[in-house]
Amino acid sequence: MKLIIAIVHNDDSAIAAAALTAAGFFVTKLSTTGGFLMVGNTTLLIGTEDSEVAEAIKILKKHCTTRKQTNKPTATFGSGLQNFSIPEKVTVSGATVFVLSVDQMEKL
């Protein structure tokens, strides 16, 4: 079994989660913040069988778009500081995806 951790743009998250769910995947949506831009993004957790990982990534690819994003932080990790050294515009990929092996999963 695998756990897919996918960090996606907030604007793509609802459609991506809906498409994954419609395809039979179980999805958890977390509100997260990128450490570089300090802007909100969404992390999707998808626990699935090894054989289904490619299908989940295909769905993410279809619904998550690469964007140029401006450096306008909405969060500061409590520091109150904005990182003025970063460029005004950066390219943010449609999804940053990690695939982890899972030793055990239980629903109790």
Q: What are the structure tokens assigned to 70, written together?
A: 């401006």
Among 37, 46, 60, 97, binds ligand 2BA (CB under 6 A): 37
**Contact of 37 with 44, CB cutoff 8 Å:** no
Q: Which of 58, 4, 54 is nearest to 27 (CA)?
A: 4
Q: Which range of residues in 15-23, 57-65, 77-85, 91-99 is near ligand 2BA by CB under 6 A?
A: 91-99
Q: Which range of residues in 15-23, 36-44, 48-56, 57-65 is near ligand 2BA by CB under 6 A?
A: 36-44
Among 91, 104, 105, 108, binds ligand 2BA (CB under 6 A): 91
d(CA 24, CA 21): 5
Tell me the H-state helices in the chain: 10-22, 53-63
Site string for ligand 2BA, 52-81 (x = CB under 6 A): ------------------------------
